[in-house]
Amino acid sequence: MPLQKIISVVIPVYNEIGTLPVLTERVAQVIAQLPQFQWEVVYVNDNSSDGSEKLLPQLAEKYPWLSVIHFSRNFGHQIAITAGIDYAQGDAVVVMDGDLQDPPELIPEMVELWQEGFDVVYATRQQREGESLFKLLTASLFYRLFRKMSEVKIPLDTGDFRLMSRPVVNALSQMREKSRFIRGMVSWVGFSQTSLLYERDKRYEGETKYTLFKMMRFAMDGLLSFSKVPLQWITTLGFIISASSFIGILLVLYQTMVLHDTIRGWSSLMVVVLFLGGVQLICVGMVGEYVARIFDEVRQRPLYLIQRIDSRRMSNTASESLSEEIQLYDHSYSES
């Protein structure tokens, strides 16, 4: 009998006590539908304080496939997902929200596409129910702005609800940057990705756990981690101001030297102010360019990721077995 594949489901949980029983029940039903796999569900409790922290261990007792990771403090949604992915052992890992906005019933379809050979199956929302107009507007604006500004193209209207294959999960766990924008990072990884349309439900219960402040931080993390455009704006602005100040300087000189109708000291002051303003912005932009490069370095992302190697010498799965092979190779080399 072939080895049973493992599927992990990672769910961040922050004060979702009203949803947890229903959520777990619905996940259990999905698991029962696909008994050919071995299942593992990982709840990451992001330091809840509404009783979820007490309910979760009880659920883990009841369901053998359930594990719970408890955080020491609130680290936020993206870090909770990261911890869950790090912990998960699956050949495929599904990430979904814990408020039932992402219906678990979509998982079998994701698994099917994964078995057809896709490495990432992300769920794109066709419709969003029960969100405030403000959220809809800002989210839509954000995704479109991100698309314009970032070198990495992320799919529009797609959250973190997705399935990832083991090679993608391994790649993701090599990326240890602190400000994490996981949907961008998954796009950056590459591999074969496909989408699945779904209708995003209302929150089952309770309020959004993303405060306006958290939302803004998240948007900043996304834009600044994946785009150098704001920095380039400074340099461009510097050049524009310098160029126009040059024209200004000519005008001031014309007034002083030809028309003789200015107050003493005004022209020299204007010349200096205009000139320095432009120069300063250009310099800040230059410094920014270096900061951007330092930023690229400190993130310590892998330079490249290998999806597959077709060769007689090496096994052709993921980069993981590749590095094993390289170590083996190095070993035999040093011995001879």
16 touches which of Mg ion, ligand UDP, none (CB within 5 to 8 A by kind)? ligand UDP
Among 99, 102, 157, 221, binds Mg ion (CB under 5 A): 99
Of 168, 206, 210, 272, nearest to 77 by C-alpha is 210
Cβ proximity to Mg ion, 130 vs 230, nearer residue:
130
Task: Report how far apart, in Å, the C-alpha atoms of 320 and of each of 167, 168, 169, 268 are.
Answer: 8, 11, 11, 66
Cβ proximity to ligand UDP, 98 vs 238, nearer residue:
98
Give the pairing type, strands 66-70 and 6-13: unpaired
Cβ proximity to ligand UDP, 200 vs 228, nearer residue:
200
In the range 62-91, which residues lie near ligand UDP by CB under 6 A? Answer: 74, 76-77, 80
Give the pairing type, strands 158-165 and 92-95: antiparallel
Q: Quickly tell me which residue has 């029983």 as its tokens.
A: 21
Note whether 18 and 206 are within 8 A (CB): yes
101: contact with ligand UDP by CB under 6 A? yes
Cβ proximity to ligand UDP, 13 vs 106, nearer residue:
13
In the range 145-204, which residues lie near ligand UDP by CB under 6 A? Answer: none
Sorted by sequence, the CB contacts under 8 Å of residue 139 that are 6+ apart come out as: 131, 157
- Residue 99 half-sphere exposure toward CB, CA atoms < 13 A: 18
- Residue 278 half-sphere exposure toward CB, CA atoms < 13 A: 16
Cβ proximity to ligand UDP, 56 vs 231, nearer residue:
56
Q: Minimum Å distance from CB 101 to Mg ion? A: 4
In the range 200-239, which residues lie near ligand UDP by CB under 6 A? Answer: 208-210
Among 67, 101, 150, 319, binds Mg ion (CB under 5 A): 101
As a whole number of angstroms, the longest Cα–Cα distance in the chain is: 98
Residues forming contacts to ligand UDP in the complex (CB under 6 A) are 12-14, 16, 46, 74, 76-77, 80, 97-99, 101, 208-210
Residues forming contacts to Mg ion in the complex (CB under 5 A) are 99, 101
